[in-house]
Amino acid sequence: MPSLFRRKSTDLVDEAVTSVTPEETAERSRGYTPAKGRETPKRPTVGRRPAGPSRPLTKEEERERRRQLRAEAASEFRREGGPRDRGPERLLARNVVDSRRTVGTWFFGGALIVLIGSNAAMPPLVRLISNVLWGALALGVVVDSILICRKISKLVRERFPKTDQRMGSLYLYAVMRSITFRRMRAPAPQVKLGDKV
């Protein structure tokens, strides 16, 4: 039984492919698609990489290139921050925190003193003082965080009344920045201590 989907060998010979002449290509528009059975025109080489294999880097060159790319990425992150740091509201929150001294920057140093002072080998008076210091630090951070959040809320509502930024995430962003040492903050502070925001 003959196949239903097979072509006859005479049909294959009859289908001749016509070639594209330069005159035809000049007349066509840019988005022209040739009909079936015609030869595909050559694509332009503009914007392509140069042909030929690029020479492989040695291990030392590759290591140096990676080190340089890492250093550039780190300096860019230090300057501009990441995706979480983008937006005018976040910039305002950063400037509010960076323009003032916060209790949070002293929190980790105080926590280290409390850790040493609350050791069982210390005298009872030293342990009492370290516990009082711990409570004072915790209370100071909470009060300072509340004051920062109130100031940010007021300024954001004044300057960006139609903001779509969630205030809770903005508060958390500012509080986390306030308990980070000033030199370790990323992006780097753009305002000096005491500057008006």
Using CA atoms, how far apart are residues 7 and 95, in angstroms rounded to an integer?
A: 76
Q: Supply 189's token pair.
A: 């502070």
What angle is formed at CA 51 by the lines to CA 49 and CA 55, rounded to 5 degrees?
A: 90
| 57-61: Cβ within 8 A, 24+ apart | none
Bridge partners, residue 38, by sequence: 18
Which pLDDT tens digits describe the chain residue by residue (197 residues)? 666 676 666 555 555 555 555 555 566 677 777 778 877 767 666 666 666 667 777 888 889 999 999 999 888 887 777 888 888 999 999 999 999 999 988 888 899 999 999 999 999 999 999 999 999 999 999 999 999 999 999 999 999 999 999 999 999 999 999 999 988 888 889 899 988 88
Are the C-beta atoms of 122 and 62 separated by less than 8 Å?
Answer: no
Bridge partners, residue 18, by sequence: 38
Using CA atoms, how far apart are residues 194 and 167, in angstroms rounded to an integer?
A: 24
